[in-house]
Amino acid sequence: MVRICIIYDKLRFEEKKIYNDIQQKGFEATLVDGKSLIFDTESSKSDSRFGDIILQRVISYNRGLHLTYCLEQMGLPVVNSSSVSEICGNKLITSLILKKNGVPTPKTTFAFSTESARECMKKLGYPLVVKPIIGSWGRGVYQIKDQSMAEMMLDSRQENDNSFSRIYYFQELIDRPSRDIRCIVIGDQIVASVFRYSSENEWRTNVAVGGRTEMAPLTSELKEIVLKASNAVGGGILGVDLMEDKERGYLVHEVNNTVEFRGASAVCKSDIAGAMTDYLVKMSSK
Amino acid sequence: MKKECKDCGAELTIPQDSMVGEIITCPDCGTDFEIVSKTEDTVEMKEAESVGEDWGQ
Ligand SMILES: Nc1ncnc2c1ncn2[C@@H]1O[C@H](COP(=O)(O)OP(=O)(O)O)[C@@H](O)[C@H]1O
Ligand SMILES: [Mg+2]
Ligand SMILES: [Zn+2]
Q: What is the pTM of this model?
A: 0.93
Judged by CB atoms closer than 8 Å, whether chains meet at A11 and B49 is answered as no
Q: How far is CA A195 from CA A13, A49, A180, A182, A253, in A?
A: 20, 38, 6, 6, 14
- Dihedral sign for Cα A31, A35, A37, A39, please: positive
Q: pLDDT, tens digit, for every residue of A200-258?
A: 999 999 988 989 999 999 999 999 999 999 999 999 999 999 999 999 999 999 999 99
Query: Would you call A61 an interface residue with chain B, using a CB distance cutoff of 8 Å?
Result: yes
Number of domains making up chain B:
1
Q: Range(s) for CATH 3.40.50.20 in chain A?
A: 3-87
Instruction: Just give the CATH number of A108-172.
Output: 3.30.1490.20
Could you give the CA distance from residue A208 to residue B15 in angstroms, rounded to a whole number?
A: 22
Contact A204 CB / ligand 1 (< 6 Å): yes
Average pLDDT over residues A3-31: 96
Judged by CB atoms closer than 8 Å, whether chains meet at B57 and A35 is answered as no
CATH of the domain at B22: 2.20.28.160
Instruction: Just give the CATH number of A3-87.
Output: 3.40.50.20
* B55 falls within a domain: no
Q: pLDDT, tens digit, for every residue of A108-148?
A: 999 999 999 999 999 999 999 999 999 888 999 999 999 99
* B52 falls within a domain: no
Q: Range(s) for CATH 3.30.470.20 in chain A?
A: 90-100+175-271
Atom of ligand 1 nearest to the CA of A138: 22
**Where does the pLDDT of residue B24 fall: very low under 50, low under 70, confident under 90, or very high at 90 and above?**
very high
Per-residue model confidence (pLDDT) at position A97? 98
Per-residue model confidence (pLDDT) at position B56? 72
Q: Residue A111 is inside which H or E element, if any?
A: strand A108-111
Residue from the list A16, A31, A60 with its beta carbon closest to the beta carbon of B52: A60
User: B38: domain range?
Assistant: 2-47
Mean pLDDT, all residues of chain A: 95
Per-residue model confidence (pLDDT) at position A122? 96
Backbone angles phi, psi at A155, to 5 degrees: -55, -50
**Where does the pLDDT of residue A164 fall: very low under 50, low under 70, confident under 90, or very high at 90 and above?**
confident
Domain A90-100+175-271 sits in which CATH superfamily? ATP-grasp fold, B domain (3.30.470.20)
Q: pLDDT, tens digit, for every residue of A266-281?
A: 999 899 999 999 999 9
Judged by CB atoms closer than 8 Å, whether chains meet at A31 and B20 is answered as yes
Q: Range(s) for CATH 3.30.1490.20 in chain A?
A: 108-172
Q: Tell me how close the Cα of B9 comes to any Cα of chain A, in angstroms.
A: 24
Residue from the list A15, A31, A136 with its beta carbon closest to the beta carbon of B56: A136
Q: Which residues surround ligand 2, an ion (CB under 5 A)?
A: A 241, 254
State the ipTM, two decimals: 0.84
Residues A107 and A98 sit within 8 Å (Cβ to Cβ) = no
Could you give the CA distance from residue A134 to residue A92 in angstroms, rounded to a whole number?
A: 9
